[in-house]
Amino acid sequence: MLVAESDAFPDLAHATTESLLQARVRGLGAASVSKVSLEVVQLSIECVDPTTACYQAVGRSLAADGLLFAQITTLKRRQLKVTISLFDVGEKTLKTRAERVFGSEEAAAAGLADLVVEATGR
């Protein structure tokens, strides 16, 4: 699991990370938590594209079987899009992706648990 990061919404990023910590993903073994976000790992390995090849490289650099990560994006009118993704490193496949647009940071925080369940199936 990779920590969520957002300079604009640090409280939401923290809440997102906490929700990801509660997730249980079948078939990926014991979960470990990276101390840095997806973006930081991608920068360190010089592969910043949102592609399966880059996600696989991130997984390999972390010696992970799978990656569970969140992305927080600001849209127009201060709407927020939160995306939770589950990537299988060995199969080179984005298993699931769940995303929602929220009208406020508070609404996003309230909807995180359901979004994580949608992405992980549990």
For 69, counting Cβ atoms within 10 Å of its Cβ (0-12 exposed, 13-18 middle, 19+ buried), the class is buried
Domain hosting 41: range is: 10-120
State the amino acid at position 14 in one-letter form: H
- Total count of domains within the chain: 1
In a domain, 104, yes or no: yes
In a domain, 107, yes or no: yes
In a domain, 114, yes or no: yes
In a domain, 16, yes or no: yes
What's the pLDDT tens digit per position in 67-121? 999 999 999 888 999 999 999 999 999 999 999 999 999 999 999 999 999 998 8
Q: What is the pLDDT of residue 103?
A: 95
In a domain, 3, yes or no: no
What's the pLDDT tens digit per position in 25-54? 876 655 678 889 999 999 999 999 999 999
What's the pLDDT tens digit per position in 54-63? 999 999 999 9
